[in-house]
Amino acid sequence: MSNPTTTVSMRPPLGCAAVMMQVLRGELRERELPFTHQREAIAQVLFESTRHLSADDVAAALRQRGEHAGKATVYRTLALLVELGLAAEHDFDEGFKRYETQVGAAQHDHLICTECGRVSTFHHPELDRILAEVAAEKGFETITRQVKVFGTCSESATCREAQRTYRETGPIS
Amino acid sequence: MSNPTTTVSMRPPLGCAAVMMQVLRGELRERELPFTHQREAIAQVLFESTRHLSADDVAAALRQRGEHAGKATVYRTLALLVELGLAAEHDFDEGFKRYETQVGAAQHDHLICTECGRVSTFHHPELDRILAEVAAEKGFETITRQVKVFGTCSESATCREAQRTYRETGPIS
DNA sequence: AGCGGATTGAGAACCGGTCTCGAAACCGAT
DNA sequence: ATCGGTTTCGAGACCGGTTCTCAATCCGCT
């Protein structure tokens, strides 16, 4: 048994964003795709954020850092990150997409408040099992899945109010 | 004990579409909304189809019947049917929405083949339980939910081929 | 530094979907 | 049946997110 206080690696903690950036660099190299300044900057913004960012949010964040990337580049890069498995794309029915860092295969799902727009996440291991079962049963090879629960949260007074109204009157008021 | 061959109702079978149309008529009356020719025609198209129709599909189906309704009317009517709970809206990541008849509260979920576009449905009772649990735990009042599994089906040779390729090479080929 | 090929960016194009507002349809009451 | 007030309808303008275009630029390698 090894001494629990002994660590194998003494590398200084890089932080999640830095690790992700290393991974990105490697993935690009492997595919012989250039690691451009824009790709770095856009990935940086995404990796350092814990929120779900729209393409516009990313562009705004870049501007705030004194960086700049064309609209087309932002979209292209986000699509690339999704392809590489480093980002996940979400559609919360707002009329546009949102993106977030995807660390490994750590699947999680979303609760979306239709009142205030807050998005909270959850992970339920049984979900994975059930969906895998269903797919297997149907001869389906799963690539990805989306589980979204729309409703009203209880974070703010207005949302709690909406909850009450909804419970009383149903979908049409 | 009643004779099992005795039926309570002797009404001739109307067919699902006709029943749905009766329900629509009732819902509109109840809300004092006019039962217009266009609303009838659009609902008819949807109720008689077992597929997931886009707004464009609906317009095309109308044309084929010699009917016609403006784009705005098609969208407005589909939105109305959703509000009334007679239709369900789906987003299969195609860049537009699809609609299908919603009979009662029979929730079901979708497997979407990214190769051929086929959509198959499933219902797993445990899903309802799990999602209700999660919502309750977070103080969330559910309005609706979406469970979508994207992947490749085994219906056609090309899809099975894609399955094999995907299993071997992962998301990027 | 120089080369070949991929990326970038400004803006146009695209495309679902929504909005506008005069014309037409609906429906209950006369 | 018809009248009138109210609602819906429809053609097309409009909107906003996303993709496309293509010349200029950048990347990575020697």
3-class SS of residue B10: coil
How far apart are alpha carbons B85 and B88 in whole angstroms?
7
Who wins on pLDDT, B159 or A107? B159
* HSE value, Cβ hemisphere, 13 Å, CA-based, for A157: 0
| Residue A95 sits in the same domain as residue A119 | no
How far apart are alpha carbons A154 and B97 in whole angstroms?
29
pLDDT given for residue B9 in this prediction:
41
> For a pLDDT cut of 90, what percent of chain A falls above it?
50
B77 phi and psi, to 5 degrees? -70, -40
3-class SS of residue A4: coil
| Residue B114 sits in the same domain as residue B102 | no
A145 burial type by CB count under 10 A (0-12 exposed, 13-18 middle, 19+ buried): buried
Which among A106, A132, A156 is the end of a domain?
A106
| Residue A70 sits in the same domain as residue A131 | no
A29-67 residue pLDDT tens:
878 899 999 999 999 999 999 899 999 999 999 999 999
Of B52, B165, B61, the closest CA to residue B99 belongs to: B52
C-beta of residue A146 within 8 angstroms of C-beta of residue A153: no
**What element of type H or E holds A79?**
helix A71-83
Give the mean pLDDT of A157-166. Answer: 83
B60-76 residue pLDDT tens:
999 999 999 999 999 99
Q: What single-letter DSSP state applies at residue B11? A: P
Sorting pLDDT into bands at 50, 70 and 90, what band is B104?
Answer: low
A55 phi and psi, to 5 degrees? -55, -40
Average pLDDT for chain B: 84
Kindly report which amino acid residue has its CA closest to the C1' atom of nucleotide C16.
B96
Classify residue B1: in a domain, yes or no. Answer: no
Interchain pair B148, A145: CB under 8 A: yes
C-beta of residue B56 within 8 angstroms of C-beta of residue B64: no
pLDDT given for residue B139 in this prediction:
93
Exposure letters A30-49 (e unless 16+ CB within 10 A, then b): eeeeeeeebbbbbbbbbbeb
Classify residue B116: in a domain, yes or no. Answer: yes
Who wins on pLDDT, A161 or A169? A161
B69 burial type by CB count under 10 A (0-12 exposed, 13-18 middle, 19+ buried): buried
Strand A119-122 to A141-152 pairing = unpaired
Edge-to-edge strands of the sheet including A119-122?
Answer: A119-122, A109-113, A141-152, B141-152, B109-113, B119-122
* HSE value, Cβ hemisphere, 13 Å, CA-based, for B102: 22
Domain around B120: 108-173
Strand A87-91 to A97-101 pairing = antiparallel
Q: What's the CATH code of the domain at A102?
A: 1.10.10.10
| Residue A76 sits in the same domain as residue A119 | no
Range picked from A96-100, B112-116, B155-159 for highest mean pLDDT? A96-100
Structure tokens at B147: 């469970």
Residue numbers in B near A144 (CB within 8 A) = 150-151
Q: What's the CATH code of the domain at A154?
A: 3.30.1490.190
Locate the chain B residue with the closest alpha carbon to A131.
B149
pLDDT given for residue B15 in this prediction:
63
Give the mean pLDDT of B140-166. Answer: 86
B142 — contact with chain A (CB < 8 Å)? yes
Q: Is the pLDDT of residue A166 over 50?
A: yes
DSSP H stretches of helix in chain B: 16-30, 37-48, 55-64, 71-83, 125-137, 157-169
Chain D nucleotides covered by protein, CB below 7 Å: 7-13, 16-21, 26-29
Average pLDDT for chain A: 85
Which among A77, A106, A135 is the end of a domain?
A106
Locate the chain B residue with the closest alpha carbon to A155.
B139
B19-47 residue pLDDT tens:
788 888 988 987 889 999 999 999 999 99
Give how far A71 is from chain B: nearest CA, Å: 19
Our count of domains for chain A comes to 2
**What element of type H or E holds A28?**
helix A16-30
pLDDT given for residue A19 in this prediction:
74
Q: Is the pLDDT of residue B86 over 80?
A: yes
Tell me the residues of chain B between 2 and 61 that have a Cβ less than 8 Å away from chain A. Answer: 31
Which among B64, B83, B106 is the end of a domain?
B106
| Residue B96 sits in the same domain as residue B31 | yes
Q: Is the pLDDT of residue A3 over 50?
A: no
* HSE value, Cβ hemisphere, 13 Å, CA-based, for A90: 27
| Residue A64 sits in the same domain as residue A123 | no
Nucleotide closest to B91 measured between CA and C1': C16
Sorting pLDDT into bands at 50, 70 and 90, what band is A4?
Answer: very low
How far apart are alpha carbons B6 and B39 in whole angstroms?
38
Q: From the CB of residue A11, how many other CB atoms can be counted at a distance below 10 Å?
A: 7
Q: From the CB of residue A171, how many other CB atoms can be counted at a distance below 10 Å?
A: 11
| Residue B99 sits in the same domain as residue B132 | no
Q: Is the pLDDT of residue B10 over 50?
A: no
Range picked from A54-58, A149-153, B50-54, B113-117 for highest mean pLDDT? A54-58
Classify residue B2: in a domain, yes or no. Answer: no
pLDDT given for residue A164 in this prediction:
83
Of residues A91, A130, A172, nearest to B127 (C-beta): A130
Q: Is the pLDDT of residue A70 over 50?
A: yes
Interchain pair A148, B145: CB under 8 A: yes
